Amino acid sequence: TVPTAGGEPAFPPTYRDTIAYVATIDRLRAYDASLLLTAHYPVYEGAAATEFLDVSVAYTERIDRAIERHLTREMTSLELIRAAAQDLGPWPADAAEYLIFPMTGNLERLARAGRVAVGARDENRTWRWLA
């Protein structure tokens, strides 16, 4: 989650391009740095820096599992977000719609991998689980 200034959950991570996001994390890991400075999070030092990167990648995998679990029929992104939001974070209910960014990124990556089919309904993009 992206935290408030007080550390409470505010809204989901806002990455969109899952492939680039994970590749960037892999590049950061390769530096074996002892200090990690981010835009929305505190300063991480030592093992905490590695843990933050691990948790970040694990969240992309968590979204993949939620997609597999909840994409039981052809759904729009918003339908899927509403079905999966409780599995994906502790933020306030109205913040769940920010899942549009990481959810779409993961769906697009899964579609490129042949695990999800892309369709359309009422001018909205839909998704269907294939794998």
Q: What is the residue extent of each domain of the chain?
A: 2-129
Average pLDDT over residues 74-95: 94
| Tokens linked to 86 | 């409780």
pLDDT at 7: 82
Distances (CA, A) of 12 to 2, 9, 44, 55, 95: 6, 8, 19, 13, 7
Task: Tell me the CATH number for domain 2-129.
Answer: 1.10.10.10
Can you give the length of the chain in residues? 131
pTM assigned to the model: 0.91
Q: Could you give phi then psi for residue 127, rounded to 5 degrees?
A: -135, 145
pLDDT bin (cut points 50, 70, 90) of residue 43 is: very high
Contacts of 80 (CB under 8 A, 6+ apart): 67, 70, 71, 103, 107, 127
Residue 62 has pLDDT above 90, yes or no: yes
What H or E segment, with its residue span, contains residue 57? helix 47-70
Contacts of 27 (CB under 8 A, 6+ apart): none
Work out the percent of the chain whose per-residue pLDDT is above 90.
Answer: 82
Residue 113 has pLDDT above 80, yes or no: yes
Residue 52 has pLDDT above 80, yes or no: yes
